[in-house]
């Protein structure tokens, strides 16, 4: 493991890598979001009183995806083969799987199982990233908070329906 120095960031490579992380994370997230939008099925579900308005999800996820991408990039720059990076990829795959399971598959309980796995992977990333890069670990804290809230929301909707 080699921590990048300031000189390492004076070349185009790290910035190109950051661009790739941002484009892939935000791009795939946006693509999935446009293909699995809340429709009449979701509108017809009973929801708890703390259910936020639909318009809030896009801006929140955009901000979270930026932080997720930057955290992944920072760990990639330190050690692309690290356990933290493997956990990052695993949580990203499950993150992208959740919306199709929920909105397209309309499977509330399987989506809840997936979101619990995402939560576990977020915690695992934070713990493993702390050893490599504190900033990357902290970038996942808002994500942990939001997915914790989303888990409660997922569970509540599953119970109510």
Question: What is residue 38's three-state secondary structure?
Answer: coil
Q: Distance of alpha carbon 30 from its chain centroid, rounded?
A: 12
Cα dihedral 39, 41, 47, 50 in deg (nearest 10): -10
Q: How far apart are CA 36 and CA 27, in angstroms?
A: 14
What is the enclosing helix (H) or strand (E) of 144?
A: helix 141-160
Q: How far apart are CA 142 and CA 148, in angstroms?
A: 10
Q: What is the CATH number of domain 6-160?
A: 1.20.1260.100
Tens digits of pLDDT across the chain (161 residues): 566 655 566 666 888 999 999 999 999 999 998 888 778 899 999 999 999 998 899 899 999 999 999 999 999 999 999 999 999 999 999 999 999 999 999 999 999 999 999 999 999 999 999 999 999 999 999 999 999 999 999 999 999 99
Question: What is residue 36's three-state secondary structure?
Answer: coil
* Nearest of 8, 23, 30 to residue 72 by alpha carbon: 23
pTM metric for this prediction: 0.90
């Amino acid at each position: 493991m080699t921590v990048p120095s300031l000189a390492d960031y004076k070349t185009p490579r790290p910035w190109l890598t950051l661009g790739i992380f941002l484009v892939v994370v935000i791009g795939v997230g946006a693509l999935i979001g446009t293909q699995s939008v809340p429709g009449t099925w979701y509108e017809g579900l009973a929801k708890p009183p703390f259910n936020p308005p639909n318009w809030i999800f896009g801006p929140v996820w955009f901000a979270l995806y930026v932080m997720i991408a930057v955290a992944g990039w920072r760990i990639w720059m330190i050690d692309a083969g690290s356990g933290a990076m493997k956990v990052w990829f695993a949580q990203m795959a499950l993150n992208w799987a959740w919306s199709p399971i929920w909105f397209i598959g309309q499977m509330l309980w399987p989506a809840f199982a997936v979101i619990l796995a995402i939560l576990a992977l977020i915690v695992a990333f934070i713990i493993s990233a702390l050893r490599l890069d504190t900033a990357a670990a902290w970038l996942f804290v808002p994500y942990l908070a939001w997915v914790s809230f989303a888990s409660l929301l997922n569970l509540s909707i599953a119970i109510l329906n």
